[in-house]
Amino acid sequence: MSGWIDGLLSLSQNARWVLFSSMLLGMASGLIGCLAYWKRHSLMSDALAHAALPGVIIGFALLGQKNLTAMTLGAAASALLGGWLIQAIRSSGRIKEDTAMGLVLSIFFGFGIMLLALVNRLPGGGQSGLDSFIFGQAAAMVRSDVIIMSAVAIGVVLLVAVGFKEWKLLLFDPSFARGVGLPVRLLDTVYMAALVVVIVVGIQAVGVVLMAALLILPGLSARYWTRSFGGMLAVSALFGGAAGALGTLASTMGRGWPTGPFIVLAASALFAVSLLFGLRKGLVPALAASGMRVRREVVGDATGEGGRGKRQ
């Protein structure tokens, strides 16, 4: 433990900013990830992240240098194109949504890797640092990245907080939401835009391959601790922030270590702890209570509780 604190104290000013922005990114991912979880968009977020890669490379190739604005815009454009293609393939009829996502994910990622190989052969391309977009390199972030990331994180927190009960209704029962007059289509668009923005700013730190894990794991872990949607959002933001910070810190301990895998490992560790010890559905508390439950079921059967199912 003290080694970690020493490590934290010895960090340069820049490294502390990087750590801070990874934490903010984790929080934003945790929040948007909760919405994606109930939208059943976990795989969708993975597809969008992978689909961003060609845009990053094209953005670089067009300007011939590492210009973050161009690369971010490229990432957003190609992620949105991927998302649009998934919709288009699905509504064309014959192909189901999961197949469409698998298709778009692998085709865009393969195309991106191919472009990457081409660009790396260009003069100066080898030092472009483009490889870091695959597995993430938080250390490569500069001050302007930190500012962008903070702005995105604050924007996401506000977005979720402002429309808290509206998001809840939209996610739980979209048909009814339309009936009470919610602008369902607008909210869907806003959610999709926020998801893409978080993915696009996140891939520099976490990488296109592992970005989805930072969206999925915190929300999933939070489910083991809370009974309310608000609680799930709060715990998910907490876990996401912790995973971002811990993973970044761990990756600074070795030269050139990619950040993404460490962030995802940290998120996975939090998930494992939740799965085992979570107060709501964790395995250990459930086992402890199971003795009681067995007794109750036996009593329930005796009083004819089993007969109710037959009516259906």
The Cβ of residue 197 has, within 10 Å, a number of other Cβ atoms equal to 20
CA 221-262-38 angle, to 5 degrees, is 30
Is residue 179 a contact point for other proteins (CB under 8 A)?
Answer: yes
Is residue 303 a contact point for other proteins (CB under 8 A)?
Answer: no
Judge contact between 210 and 196, C-beta under 8 A.
Answer: no
Stretch that binds other proteins, among 6-14, 172-180, 191-199, 208-216 (CB under 8 A): 172-180
Query: Could you say which of 121, 165, 185, 255 contacts other proteins (CB under 8 A)?
Result: 165
Is residue 171 a contact point for other proteins (CB under 8 A)?
Answer: yes
Stretch that binds other proteins, among 8-16, 48-56, 175-183, 296-304 (CB under 8 A): 175-183
The pattern of x and - marking residues 273 through 302 that bind other proteins according to CB under 8 A reads ------------------------------
Is residue 311 a contact point for other proteins (CB under 8 A)?
Answer: yes
DSSP 14: H
Distance of CA 63 to the CA centre of its chain: 29
Is residue 127 a contact point for other proteins (CB under 8 A)?
Answer: no
Amino acid type, 272: A
DSSP helix, strand, coil percent of the chain (3-state; round to 5): 80, 0, 20
Within 181-210, the residues that bind other proteins by CB under 8 A are 181-182
Q: Which residues, including other chains, have CB under 8 Å from residue 31's CB and lie 6 or more apart?
A: 156, 157, 160, 233, 236, 237, 240
Considering the complex, what minimum distance in angstroms separates the CB of residue 160 from other proteins? 13
Is residue 264 a contact point for other proteins (CB under 8 A)?
Answer: no
Considering the complex, what minimum distance in angstroms separates the CB of residue 230 from other proteins? 9
- Taking the C-alpha atoms of residue 52 and residue 75, their distance in angstroms, rounded to an integer, is 4
Is residue 180 a contact point for other proteins (CB under 8 A)?
Answer: yes
Judge contact between 9 and 143, C-beta under 8 A.
Answer: no
Radius of gyration of the chain (CA): 22
Considering the complex, what minimum distance in angstroms separates the CB of residue 239 from other proteins? 15
Q: Which residues, including other chains, have CB under 8 Å from residue 125's CB and lie 6 or more apart?
A: 119
Stretch that binds other proteins, among 20-28, 57-65, 80-88, 164-172 (CB under 8 A): 164-172
Contact set with other proteins (CB under 8 A) = 38, 93, 162-163, 165-166, 168-169, 171-173, 175-176, 178-182, 223, 226-229, 231-232, 308, 311-312
